[in-house]
Structure 1
Amino acid sequence: MEAYKLKSKTEDSESFSRGQQQGVQQTLDGDIVPEMPKVRTTEGYMVDWDKNVIIKQLTKETKLAEKFFNISQVSYEDAKEIADLAEDRIRSMNIQFLSGPLIREIVNTLLIEKGHVEWRNICTRVGTPVYDAFEIDTGAGFEANDNANLQDNAETSHKKKADKISKEQYTLMLPPKLADLHLNGDLHIHDLEYFGTRPFCQDHDLRYFFYYGLMPDGSGTKASVAGPAKNAEVAVLHAVKALGSAQTNFAGGQGFYNFLTFLAPYMENKDYNEIKQLMQMFVYEMTQMMVARGGQLVFSSVQLSPGVPELWVDKPVVSHGTVHDGYYAEHRTYGEFEREVRLTFKALMEVMLDGDYWGKPFNFPKPEISIEPQFMEEDEEFNKQHPELPTYEDLYDLSFELAAKFGTPYFDNQLPPYRGAGKGISCYQCCAYQFSADEDNDADFEDKLYFKEGKHFSMGAWQVLTLNCPRSAYRANGDYDALISDLKRLMNRSVEVFLAKKQWMDYIIDNNRMPFASQRPKDPITGEKGSILVDTDSLVYTIGIIGINEMVQYYTGNQLHESKEAFRLAVRVMTELEMYAKDLSNKYGMQIALARTPAETTGQRFAVADLLQKDFASKAEQVIKGDVESAKQKLSKDHDLPVYYTNGTHIPPSADISIIDRINYEHTFFPIVDGGNIMHIWMGEAHPDPKGLKQFALNIAKNTQTGYFAFTKDMTVCMDDFHVADGLKDNCPNCGSDNVEFLSRVTGYIQAVGGWNEAKKQELEDRKRYASVDML
């Protein structure tokens, strides 16, 4: 190198001596070059420079390119060329300190310069700037209000840092064209931080744990293994801990379908007070375990029927570590436990009506009240024999008393013919995703009913993706064929994401990184390995939709409720998308469901993404909901803005229409959106008569296609005197303090408003509330 040429022997001698002290070395041809500094490794060691490490790392790490991008790994020759260039570049920098991350940045720059983007994506680092990490520690910055269920604690900070790294990792490992669709806001990959490690959500068969016991770590090596529960208290605690343990393997909600029927054998012959105490223990355990991802409560739900569903009346009981089928144990059926189901339903409703010590509602587990044809008429013979027990009407009355007081319950309407009540099983999970099983789509359905050889039901989703429907309308610019073509293009890309998810999850399963879900406990009868907990082959893939209202508004100039043309367009588009989802399911051999997305974050994210892009901004401004002008002013500084697209196929929350009109529009989409939907009725601070509310709700159930609905109350909690008041009030009506927190339903669950993002707070302000049953 010319700058270090020797001038004379004397100069050479003196210069070399100084060079040894200053970090230079002499080459054989007489040149003097800077000596390479030692390297500070990410493992915490100081080592000598060795460019062969680069060669080894490149040839090792780019093996992933074969798995994820279907391109060959780097050759030895290419790796050596990159290592030589990296050494020359580092030497030219004349630096005293060298770290592993700096070397990697230089290598990645060279890979990009050479046109090897996929190799660079595999070899790059993921992480976060120190400043961003500090903001997360103090509750600000990255996704500070993306999940209202998260708490203000150190575990949340730890989760956010991990989320940030994981999201960066998975966008780099996805094929660039798919990653760009997510980053650009064409579609949204939900729970991206868990994309490569976990399925989405799951509803469990409680019989499994009552037969096998509890193995919370899935392997039995890290935690103690409990045998099957022999008494009610242990059974309840096993149910609690099963849901908590499942959170380690899943990204979303966990629940139990048919909860009361399967639990009933443990309540046999117990008096009501004891049953109520057990239900109180269950609810408090579920709402006091800050053990889920990032130190949050377990996102949980339980499906509740007021009696034993007809499907289960003659099925053998599974409890106490055996199947009561007359072979392994005395023959007993769930129909024998009608008394226990009714009393447990009553107890659970009364516990939730009491609220917690302050009088606040319980936000978890979400009570899913099943409205079934069987329970619309009384079992008169049973009622005559047991006059001391509550009737179905009594129990439904309690659930609507709870709805009127707190807005807690969700109503799972199985009366419409499309729900297929009595012919199979179905459940709602997370924030309203629907899953089902019947003889037509489950070859082992009958065996699962009888728990034959441990076969049981497990219903859930691998992954959820959501399409930015308004953007497709912006691109189509009034051309229907172009609109449908763009939406189908995004559905095709969604399938590619699903296939990548399945490939990655195969690696996870093969490496036993999903131990709870894939556990095979000791069979209490045979002593051999039992059946696997979660049948991953039965998990569905869900494509969600957002902003159908804004899509038709841009296309027609009217919102869903403002013209027949707009409404018909929405129905036509959704029908085509549902049919195409079925075509894709058949083509790729995977079950793809179309769903309304709850959109706690996604409705805002899509709206902000469209405002940020010059191709869509002027169009988006015409239809986006919320405070658009305020958002535009803050857009360059912040992305947590008070703007949003309307959830799913909903009428905008601010639409000034009667609740009857709202129902008449929204119920049409339920049979189409087979992956899950919900209708929200915002009551504000109203406290309607429970019987009137019940009558109104049953009219919805009997006369519309609405499959799932909830009545939402707004509440204020004083943080000084702990008073709970109806409505959103700036000051406590009891003591006058302004130190208050609001409670309402954010998407599919009740939570403190302080943790909501700006878009959901704006939506809360925009909501059209129906103040009394007369208005309903």
Structure 2
Amino acid sequence: MKAELDMNDEVVALEKAYYDKIDWEVQENANIDISYGGFVKFLLDKLLKKESVLLEYLPEKAVKMHFSGDIHIHKLPHSLYLPYCTGWSYRKLLLSGLVTPTMVSKPPKHADTAVSQLVSFFCTAAQEWTGAQAVSAFDLYLAAFIKHDKPSPKAVKQMLQRMLFDLNYPTRIGFQSAFTNITVLLDTNKQFLEEDAVVAGRVVGKLEDNLDEAIMVSKELFKLLIEGDALGQPFSFPIPTLMVTKNFDWNGSKWDGLTDLFFEALSKRGSAYLLNGNAAEVESLFSMCCRLTLDVEKVKNFELNSALEDVEEELRKSRGARGLWAVPDATGSIGVVTINLPRIGVLANGDWEKLLSLLDERIDVARDVLKVWRGRYRQSLARGLMPLTKRYLGHFNGHYSTVGLVGLPEAVANFMGNPALWDNLNKGDVEEAVSLMKKIVSHVRKRVEEFEDEDGCLYNVEEVPAESAGTRLALLDREKFLSKFKANEILIPGGDPAPFYSNSVIPYYASVPISLRAQWEGEVQSEFTGGVIMHLFLNESPDPEALKKLARRIVENTNVVYFSFTPSISVCQKCDWHSVGVFDTCPKCGSKRIDVWSRIVGYYRPVRTWNDGKKAEFKNRATYGRRESW
């Protein structure tokens, strides 16, 4: 009876905390708006994300370290039952149609149905994964339907417009949008072009047969991304990724003006990510991914049980950094456990061997959690909690167990006893810091590679987005090291009351020229084998041609794997005026009802919806304009 009363009191207290926004976790995720669905998610999080509950499932040391802030176990409490992120095979969906436990659709015969089924698939499967979903070669697979139907550009634009709006409506648990990514390939990957094109569930030639139609699809998509919604607000999802390889049409000689449209969209909207094929070995990665999708079919039919061993070996051999959301077909991550690096930097106090000892302890704990997660997700799949995943994927052998890192720049500043490192920007000190960061990531990578043979599954190392983890861990460290924090002896950026940790190599609050930022980022990014990205935040809309030249320099002269251009966008809620830049007052109608949109981590959301730590990070961001030289 007492337990029931305690639960009642707790629910009442949580209701008040939600309505009054007393708890910072009410807005920990900018993709969740205030709503009944958001309240139910908040309530579930608070009631299940407790030490007593987690101890029933996870090792005691891991639970203690999570709540104390040594590590962060992501996506709790939903990660108790569901894995993190995945790439799907669009080809498989087109061959089989959308089959759910309640409704069955035949393979699509027309372009609008092919788009509609993908949207419905994303929104339905979002209930089975806690993070991002992706499909590769959206442009090429849809192009076969365009050739078959011969729609006008206006009709293509209309079907893509429906897709953009439908994917941004809050249909997911917690009143949030499904987190989705699509890759636009065109002819940047020659081996992928040799894959089968599909219409009405039948093979109709090769993807390379429809390049003109793929260009048409991409043109209409990026025109829509430039327009935004009815108020001129940017679309958060899907996040397109452009594959930049040696075949990329920098000179505009073969894609009918599409390259210029890409960079107009990047200049005005920051609409896409760029994956550097020179640094990420995209050709071999996508060759592996095509094979993986085919081998999964054989294994599901028990035709070749040894195929998975070959698949895993291919994945191990292609340990290039893959970017955050450009997840290849049928691969992904089952879950992430992140290590609080800044705390280790403080505790090690300049002693490298002590740092490695502390780091190894946390890596081992992360491994223990990830082993439990993999076993639980296999149970979820077998017990029917993931019906779409069971049909369209079947297993998690191609999915990595991910060890995440957060706060690299703060960690090395604390380790070096130089909390002003990123303010002073002494070149020698920064180069020492970059070398230390590279050694840290390399050490973690080598450790998790050892786990693969021992555990019989795949591991990788990711620079986590840390939308909420960066704030939670910084808050805990401020409390733990309060006297050092007040004396400015350690670096916890954001100050009081909104500290945060960085989700980058070079912190975004450091005023570093683009050339040096890209050089230093690339040196460390190449050590990651999971997600990693460099954002370049823009305070105005640059000339698209100049932006294209800058992107080409980054691709050809650095080891940066994945990067974005991110202009801030102000939108008037009264008169629909919008422009690149940060405005407090609408210059057209004088209204103060201005929303400023920017990337909180990987996706655009209005800053007013961000948690306090990320708001502080936004205010401290170093931005670039037209006068910024390479």
**Common fold by TM > 0.5:** yes
AA matched with 2:348: A
Give the structure 2 partner of residue 548 of structure 1: 408
Q: Distance in 1 between matches of 2:159 and 2:627?
A: 34
SS in 1 for 2:605: strand
Match of 2:398 among 517, 538, 544: 538
Matched, 1:591 2:458: yes
Q: Which runs of 5+ in 1 are unaligned?
A: 1-97, 106-124, 325-331, 384-389, 427-435, 520-531, 632-640
SS of the equivalent of 1:361 reads coil
- Name the structure, 1 or 2, with higher relative contact order (CA <8 Å, separation 6+): 2
- Counterpart contact for 1:373–1:421, Cα < 8 Å: no
Partner of 1:444: 295
2:192 is matched with which residue?
A: 312
Indicate the percent of aligned positions where both proteins have the same amino acid: 26
Partner of 2:286: 425
Aligned residue number for residue 355 of structure 2: 483
**Structure 2 CA distance for aligned equivalents of residues 506 and 313 of structure 1:** 34
1:302 pairs, out of 179, 182, 197, with 182
For the aligned residue pairs, the C-alpha RMSD in angstroms reads 2.7
Quote the residue 1:517 is aligned against: 389
Q: Distance in 1 between matches of 2:342 and 2:211?
A: 49
Residue 345 of structure 1 deviates from its aligned partner by: 0.9
Q: Does 1:566 align with 2:433?
A: yes
Query: Is this contact kept in 2: 1:732–1:740, CA < 8 A?
Result: yes
SS at 1:600's partner residue? coil
2:331 pairs with one of 454, 459, 464: 459
Q: Select the residue among 361, 364, 369 that pairs with 2:242.
A: 369
Q: Which residue of 2 aligns with 1:48?
A: none
Contact 1:127 1:165 in 2 (8 A): no
Q: Which residues in structure 2 correspond to 1:264-413 (within 5 Å)?
A: 264-268=143-147, 269-287=150-168, 289-307=169-187, 309-324=189-204, 332-376=205-249, 390-391=255-256, 394-413=257-276
Give the AA of the match of 1:423: S
String of CA shifts for 1:516-551, please: whole Å, max 9, x gaps. Answer: 2112xxxxxxxxxxxx43431211111111111111
Q: Following the alignment from structure 2 to structure 1, what is the Cα–Cα distance between the partners of residues 173 and 181?
A: 17
Instruction: Out of 465-474 and 299-308, give the one that drifted further.
Output: 299-308
Q: Indicate how the Cα distance of structure 1 residues 346 and 443 shifts in structure 2: closer, same or farther if over 3 A, else same.
A: closer
Matched residue, 1:130: 12
**CA shift at 1:241, angstroms?**
0.7
The amino acid across from 1:411 in the alignment is L
Distance 1:701 1:126, change over 3 A: farther
99 and 571 in structure 1: CA distance in 2 versus 1, 3 angstrom threshold: closer
In structure 2, the residue matched to 1:17 is: none
What is the aligned partner in structure 1 of residue 67 from structure 2?
183
1:99/1:241 CA distance change after superposition, 3 Å: same
User: Does the 8 Å contact 1:308/1:337 carry over to 2?
Assistant: no
SS at match of 2:389: coil
Q: Does the 8 Å contact 2:484/2:490 carry over to 1?
A: no
| Contact 2:61–2:365 (8 Å) recurs in 1 | no
Question: What's the CA shift string for 1:616-657, capped at 9, x where partnerless?
Answer: 8559953334342xx2xxxxxxxxx31112224x21222122
The answer to which of 133-142 and 355-364 deviates more is: 133-142
Partner of 1:199: 83
Q: Is the 8 A contact 1:170 1:195 kept in 2?
A: no
Please tell me the residue identity of whatever aligns with 2:516.
Answer: D
| 1:239 paired residue number | 118
Q: CA 1:620–1:337 in 2, change beyond 3 Å: closer, same or farther? A: farther
Number of residue equivalences: 595
C-alpha contact (below 8 Å) 2:81/2:380 kept by paired residues: yes
Asked if 1:493 corresponds to 2:365, the answer is: yes
Match of 1:672 among 521, 527, 531: 527
**Pairwise CA distance, 1:243:** 0.6
Contact 2:519 2:560 in 1 (8 A): no
1:101 aligns with 2:4: yes
Equivalents in 2 of 1:345, 1:173: separation in Å? 46
Q: Deviations over 1:553-584 (max 9, x none)?
A: 12223437541332222222221221112112
TM-score, length basis structure 1: 0.72
Q: What is the alpha-carbon distance in structure 2 between the residues aligned to residue 587 and residue 322 of structure 1? A: 42
Per the TM alignment, residue 300 of structure 1 is displaced from its structure 2 partner at its CA by 1.0
Matched letter for residue 368 of structure 1: T
* Paired AA for residue 565 in structure 1: E
Q: 1:621 to 1:194 in 2, by over 3 A?
A: farther
TM-score, scaled relative to structure 2: 0.88
The letter of the residue matching 1:314 is E
Match 1:147 to one of 26, 29, 36: 29
- Which of 493, 502, 506 is 1:646 aligned to? 502
Match status 1:166 vs 2:48: yes
Find the aligned partners of 1:207 and 1:166 in 2 and give their Cα distance.
38
Give 1:422 shift.
2.1
Asked if 2 retains the 8 angstrom alpha-carbon contact of 1:307 and 1:341, the reply is no
Secondary structure at the counterpart of residue 461 of structure 2? strand
Gaps of 5+ in 2: 309-327
Comparing 466-475 with 246-255, greater Cα deviation is found at 466-475
Letter of the aligned partner of 1:298 in structure 2?
A
What is the CA–CA distance in structure 1 between the aligned matches of 2:54 and 2:9, rounded to whole Å?
Answer: 12
Moved runs in structure 1, 4+ residues, more than 6 A? 377-380, 445-448, 452-456
1:773–1:379 CA distance, 2 compared to 1 (3 A): closer
State the AA in 1 paired with 2:215.
Answer: R
Query: Is the Cα contact below 8 Å between 2:506 and 2:517 reproduced in 1?
Result: yes
Alpha-carbon distance between aligned partners in 1 of 2:601 and 2:250, rounded to the nearest angstrom:
33
